[in-house]
Amino acid sequence: MTDAPVSIASDQLSATIHRHGAELWSLRDAQGRELMTDADPRWWTGHAPLLFPFVGRSRGDVYRLDGCDYPMPQHGFARRSAFALIDHSEDAATFRLEADAASLAVYPFTFRLDMDFAIDGVSLRMTATVTNRGEAVMPFSFGYHPAFAWPLPYGGASEDHRIVFEKPEPAPIRKVGEEPGLSARESVASPVDGDTLVPSHAMFAGDALIWDELNSRSLLWGVPGQPRLKIDFPDTPWLGLWQKPGAHYLCIEPWAGMADLVGFEGDVWDKQGIIALPPGQSRAFRMDVSLVDV
């Protein structure tokens, strides 16, 4: 088995995925222009980690399950795991992560995580399917964490970029609280004007912005009047935006789940956003990225 990255393409878009973490490292247009992070190590070397079996940080990097404590790094272990390449064609690839002795020691559930990538024209479709192959109900959450270029390679300045949501987003948002990586209990006023957010680097000085009362399941990223990215996330009800201030990326992160609230001391079953997956059942989470002229 090789660890070489896997490439898929259409005549309008190409993607490169690494087996480690089944992580999307590159998304390029027909002219070879990069639409994702430059991964400058001064800021962050990640590209698009998958968040499983939990989104965000557990308090003290430990979660409690039925009275027992288990260690768990921020965003779970999938992003640090080697996936098997199950299928690969010119325009599609499927990667798989399954429970093993190491995962069962920290997450005692027999799971399967399949990650499908497919390119059709100007669109990349990503679908994560979580399956409970055990005999007990399985608690989990899942999220995407892709870092898109800021600015995109079409001539617009960073300050000209906008996020335009599918619908108006007047609800308050959460920020990261005083305990590092945990969600604040108190909400703050929405930074969205109608359906439009004007991001700035200073906006992320206090870490991520978190929408947990989100109306939209789609948004546009880029400079109006230039090619933009249309991002659809029909299966994930929450959204995080994050960057290290000054970096050349913006992470647009659809989530089904969230970090512990500041001060949370309960069982994982009481954690916000936890999904209870019955034995033998699966749950899928799709995220589409399309290069559009709108």
Number of Cβ within a 10 Å radius of residue 128: 25
- Cβ-based neighbour number of residue 261 at 10 Å: 17
The CATH classification of domain 6-292, taken from the options 2.70.98.10, 2.60.40.10, 3.40.50.1820, 3.40.50.300: 2.70.98.10
Ranges of each domain in the chain? 6-292
Spatial separation of the C-alpha atoms in residues 36 and 26, rounded to whole Å:
6
| pLDDT for the residue numbered 2 | 63
**Distance between CA atoms of 109 and 131, rounded to whole angstroms?**
10
Predicted pLDDT of residue 1: 47
User: What amino acid occupies position 196?
Assistant: T
HSE on the CB side for 33, CA within 13 Å?
A: 16
Under DSSP, is residue 202 helix (H, G, I), strand (E, B) or coil? helix
pLDDT along the chain (294 residues), means of 10: 86 97 98 96 95 96 95 96 98 98 98 98 98 98 98 94 98 90 90 98 94 97 97 98 96 96 94 96 98 91
Ramachandran angles phi, psi of 114, nearest 5°: -100, 135
How confident is the model at residue 182, as a pLDDT? 87
What is the C-alpha to C-alpha distance for residues 199 and 193, in angstroms, rounded to an integer?
Answer: 11
DSSP H helices, the chain, are 101-106
